[in-house]
Amino acid sequence: MDMIAEARALDAADPLADRRGRYLIPEGVIYLDGNSLGPASHAALAALDVAAREEWAEGLIRSWNAAGWFELPMALGGRIGRLIGAGEGCVVACDTISVNLYKVLHACLALRPDRRVILAEATSFPTDLYIAEGVCAAAGARLVLAEGPVEAALGPEVAAMLVNHVDYRSGALRDMAALTAAAHAAGALAVWDLSHSAGALEVGLDAAGADFAVGCTYKYLNGGPGAPAFVYAATRHHGAIRQPVTGWWGHARPFAFETGFEAAKGMKAFLAGTQPVLSFRALAGALEDWEGVEMGAVRAKSMRMTQAFINWVEAACPGLELASPRAAEARGSQVSFCHANGYEIMQALIARGVIGDFRAPDVLRFGFAPLYLSFEEVARAVLALAEVLESGEWREARFAERGAVT
């Protein structure tokens, strides 16, 4: 088969091929859903074991200091920061994206007290819009949803412009530097949601001049289900971060047990409550797998891989319509195709061991994580998809019933 031979040649030239052994991919599965939940690695499971059996069970309360539990948010933030182009001390790991975005958008409104609009793209991942709505209602601000290019809706009332760096449905990649510059030219702050770009490509927050960012670690960073999220703030904003979820971990002196609140300097101002240590430790292990990995190499493989997938699908799977940008540099690390029966087709494909996901109304979504996927797997996934379409097996009743889709 030509496609397989082509894939094997690409694998032979892949400088990241040796990373695959670090991850546990189940037998018989081709995993194209790492953009939704990354797989476990040996390092992540080992770190979790140490946290549970040594630090918790043996160390007990002493581990808060002895095992560095208190330092996990800044320590892991630093390791994430290296992967997204953030300077030392500019990233903290904590809470969830939703809660972090809530804090960030409040901080933006506090930095622009004369402006009362938050601008976001109507196509944003919904929780971003819901959180922006909640912040606006609480702070007496107004949420404006741009239906077209978000920068066209900038204006003198906009305090913050919220952009999803990679669109969760189409995989379209936004130009962070250009959009940030446009926001700044209009006097607004630029806030980036990195959920679908952190760990997938070179984000370059500092270089782009971004103001704030939030992101998750359970997709391309492989931190585990519901792993801790993170927040970035440019150095110029440190010291002026005012966010209302003022819990004790965000206090300048948390163990002085003072009655009044005084915000910590720097990124600790985004902390609030005691963090889930076991989930942090799994993430810590997952981040070990990124040591020595250059994001440029990840991005190069990702672009080759998504391009090969598009070529092969378009050659072998008639009836699917590309819903992602055709130019590799305009895509994140995912490819989406539309089909009116996308749900049933994805279910039939999953039944064959090729795991992608579906987004309403008609999007088949495939994620490509360069650290553990081979080109041969991608080619075999395309062959499976072609067989599902050709055989018509997706028409079977067992694929038609819709459950919750993640």
Count of residues that bind its own copies according to CB under 8 A: 89
- Pick from 16, 63, 366, 386: which binds its own copies (CB under 8 A)? 63
Binding mask 265-304 for its own copies (x = CB under 8 A): -------xxxxxxxxx-x----------------------
Q: Which pair of tokens denotes residue 372?
A: 């553990």
The single residue among 69, 212, 230, 372 that binds its own copies, judged by CB under 8 A, is 69
Angle of CA points 274, 129, 113, to nearest 5°: 80
Residue number, 182 or 343, with CB nearest to its own copies: 343
Residue of 8, 125, 175, 304 with catalytic role: 125
Tell me how far apart the alpha carbons of residues 187 and 327 are, in angstroms, rounded to a whole number.
Answer: 31
| Euclidean distance between CA atoms 19 and 288, whole angstroms | 12
Report the nearest approach of its own copies to the CB of residue 314 (Å).
26
Phi, psi angles (nearest 5°) of residue 23: -110, 150
Instruction: Please report whether residue 36 would count as binding its own copies according to CB under 8 A.
Output: yes
Contacts of 267 (CB under 8 A, 6+ apart): 74, 77, 89, 90, 91, 92, 231, 233, 238, 241
- Region 71-90 residues binding its own copies, contact defined as CB under 8 A: none
With CB under 8 A as the contact rule, the residue among 150, 229, 287, 345 that binds its own copies is 229
* Assigned token pair, 11: 């694998």
Q: Smaller CB distance to its own copies: residue 29 or 383?
A: 29
Does 327 help bind its own copies (rule: CB under 8 A)? no
Radius of gyration, alpha carbons of the chain: 22
Lookup result for tokens 């801790």: 228
Binding status of residue 31 toward its own copies by CB under 8 A: yes
The verdict on 26 binding its own copies (CB under 8 A) reads yes
Has 22 been annotated as catalytic? no
Q: Does 261 bind its own copies (CB under 8 A)?
A: yes
Determine the number of helices (DSSP H) and then strands (DSSP E) in the chain: 12, 13
Residues carrying an active site annotation? 125, 193, 218-219, 365
